[in-house]
Amino acid sequence: MRKAHSFVKNTDGNVEYKGDSNIREQRIDASRRMPAAENGETIFQSVPSGAGYVAEAVKTDASGSPLTGPAARNDGSVTFNGPQVVDVNNADYGDSFRLNFAEDAASGEPTVSVQRFESGTWAAYDPAGDGV
């Protein structure tokens, strides 16, 4: 059995959605139905084109260069609830940030650091300005 892909590249090189666009409904009484779930088209194509690049998961080496091949495989999971625009007038609005997850060598506890892309490179970023 051949697996169908939700997104395909057409002959012009543009990506098109070819997945599920059916709406699943639940009967709520003898004559009415309500949508019971979102379809793939609504979920995957609801981010406006002006949103830009929202999120990317890339494993990197110690210098920050992306890994390739089997070493680049994701061995975790993530839950992303966004994007949510809070303050479009904030000085950081529209900038690129990344979170780096690691394990503290001494304690084994998970750690996270924030980096901001500026002047062509990733630099440490302390959003609260408290050194933490």
Question: 18-52: per-residue pLDDT in tens?
Answer: 877 788 888 888 899 888 877 777 777 776 665 55
pTM over 0.75: no
pLDDT value, residue 130:
72
List, in sequence order, every beta strand (DSSP E) within the chain.
7-9, 15-17, 25-27, 33-35, 97-103, 110-118, 121-124
Q: Which of 21-25, 59-63, 81-85 has the lowest mean pLDDT?
A: 81-85
Among residues 13, 37, 15, the alpha carbon closest in space to that of 25 is found at 37
